[in-house]
Amino acid sequence: MVAVQPVSSVLNRLKQPQLLLIDGKLQAAASGETYEVHDPATGKPIASVAHGASADIDLAVSAARQAFNDRRWRGLTAEARSRILLRLADLVEAHAGELAYLDILNNGMTLFMANALATSSANRVRSAAALGSRTYGKNASAAISGNGADMHAYTAKEPVGVVGLILPWNGPMASFLGKVSTALAAGCTCIVKPAEATPLTALLLGELALEAGVPPGVVNVIPGFGDAGQALVDHPDVDKISFTGSTAVGKQIVRSCADNLKRVTLELGGKSANIIFDDADMAIAIPGAANAIFMNSGQACLAGSRLFVQRRVLDTVLNGLSEIAGKIVLGSGFNPETQMGPLVSQRQLDRVTGYIEQGRTDGAKLVIGGGRRDGAGYFVEPTIFLDPPADSRIYREEIFGPVLVVNAFDTTEEVVEAANDTRYGLAGGVFTTNVNTAHLVAGQLRTGTIWVNCYGQLHPTMPFGGYKESGWGREIDEQGLEAFLETKSVFVKLT
């Protein structure tokens, strides 16, 4: 197989400064400043991007508020909004090659993952379109009327208003389309603040939304750093924030939003546990556990970064995982042979390698990996530690890299207690051929999603979110849509 050739339209696009999208128009930052974004596979700059800041957030919020108040989007019928979202999904598919190319170039993900996300993201937009056309309240007149007091009473679902959508860097296309399509299906207007390292896909998608028929001012895109995100969170004319990212930043957002009690949805970090019982099908469990941590170079909130293995099969599992990890092909995501790309940035590389060194210091046994790949780019070897102390940082904290910690267990009660002994609660996995064990453990793990004999699957019909410090609320499906709606009760006395 040969490496993927550059997409000429993308290369031509990146020769020009990447501008902010405000009120349907591309424009430079108010300050005139720009910043560079880089290819994590080489460390080289790939584009110059307008550096959005507080003044630009003000303009974008004003545009979104005007669009909301004049009803140019929410005033359309749900069916009309759905038709526009379906056109957006079609455009995502038509431009899938460009979008995947940008995600690989800017994020470092593999070709396989980028193509898969383009397909699944288009489908998620279609699902949001369908949900939006089925949003309605209820009629309670029969329950209230009687005894001479006739009443027409009903509830109405209304968009929450202007929403700030703050995106992570580990899935630029998927996170943009997931949040934006749901907000639009609810009738909201939005300001999208992509991660500073990965704004390129969001900017193209903002233009595609306009092409699909989304009116100007309904979707605004402001690349920038943390100060831009903070300005969006603090803005008094923003009704809701939806944030995906670290738990530490999520807590800061909650504190800021407390001042005016704006609505908040948070999809935060995880330290998810995968459990392999000794009756598991090892041909499924071992590759499943490897994929759970090494997919997207471990840069996934749902990564199965803790692995508990029943003692009788510990050696079998470790040998199998080591064999897989040792054969993983690192490289540019444009090469179809690549199985694991780089970390997203030098900062993330320093963070992950720092955790690896800390793991050695704390006394965990290094089974395989632990080093950087020679040459350019932000590459770290797939790394496995055995028996980290329960109070060690690599056991307790989210690393967000290809680092797996493995511990043995003997009983179901023991492993459930250990798996739940974390401040996080985003996801988890169970590998067993015993259906009773599967359901028992799935019911006892304190996490928002459980996979049995698989890992990482998501679907537009299934909500996603976390317990404990892994977040507030849910995204995807009806629960995700509800987060962008308000419920109004109306009583009309009939005379």
DSSP 451-474: EESS-----TTS-B--SGGGEES-
Task: Tell me if 205 sits within 8 A of 99, measured CB to CB.
Answer: yes
Q: Quickly list DSSP for 99-142.
A: HHHHHHHHH---HHHHHHHHHHHHHHHHHHHHHHTT----B-HH
Q: Residue 488 half-sphere exposure, CB side, CA atoms within 13 Å?
A: 7
pLDDT at 3: 52
From the centroid of its chain, how far is CA 460?
A: 13
How many Cβ atoms sit within 10 Å of the Cβ of residue 457? 8
Q: Which residues of the chain have pLDDT under 70?
A: 1-6, 147-149
Angle at the Cα of 182 from the Cα atoms of 176 and 185, rounded to 5 degrees: 130
Q: Whole-angstrom Cα distance, residue 408 to residue 410?
A: 7
pLDDT at residue 494 in the model: 87
Known active-site residue 482: no
CA distance 77 to 489: 21
With b meaning 16 or more CB within 10 Å and e meaning fewer, what string describes 360-371?
Answer: eeeebeebbbbe
Which residues, in sequence order, are bridge partners of residue 45?
A: 38
Q: Report whether CATH 2.40.30.10 matches the domain 273-459.
A: no
Please say whether the beta carbons of 342 and 375 come within 8 A: no
pLDDT in tens, 436-481: 999 999 999 999 999 999 999 999 999 999 999 999 999 999 999 9
> How many whole angstroms separate alpha carbon 22 and alpha carbon 232?
14
Domain boundaries, the chain: 8-268+470-490, 273-459
Which residues on neighbouring strands pair with residue 309, listed in sequence order? Answer: 276, 408
Contact by Cβ (8 Å): 311, 409: yes
Residue type for position 349: L
DSSP, res 294: H
**8 Å CB contact between 354 and 125:** no
Residue 1: the pLDDT is 41
Side-chain-side CA neighbours of residue 266 (13 Å): 27
CATH homologous superfamily, domain 8-268+470-490: Aldehyde Dehydrogenase; Chain A, domain 1 (3.40.605.10)
pLDDT at 148: 57
- Strand ranges of the sheet holding 240-244, from the earlier edge strand across to the other edge: 25-27, 20-22, 219-221, 189-193, 162-166, 240-244, 263-267, 471-472
DSSP state of 84: H
Q: Which value, in Å, is the radius of gyration of the alpha carbons in the chain?
A: 24
End-to-end CA distance of the chain: 77
Residue 147 confidence (pLDDT): 60
Q: What does the pLDDT read at residue 330?
A: 97
Query: Does 8-268+470-490 match 273-459 in CATH topology?
Result: no
Q: Hey, what amino acid is at 467?
A: Y
Exactly one of 98, 267, 398, 475 is catalytic; which is it?
Answer: 267
Q: What is the predicted pLDDT for the residue at 495?
A: 76
326 C-beta neighbours (distance < 10 Å), count: 11
How many CB atoms are located within 10 Å of the residue 33 CB? 13
- pLDDT value of residue 8: 86
Amino acid at residue number 438: A
Summarize pLDDT for 192-225 with one digit per residue, the tens. Answer: 999 999 999 999 999 999 999 999 999 999 999 9
| Per-residue tokens: 427 | 């996801």
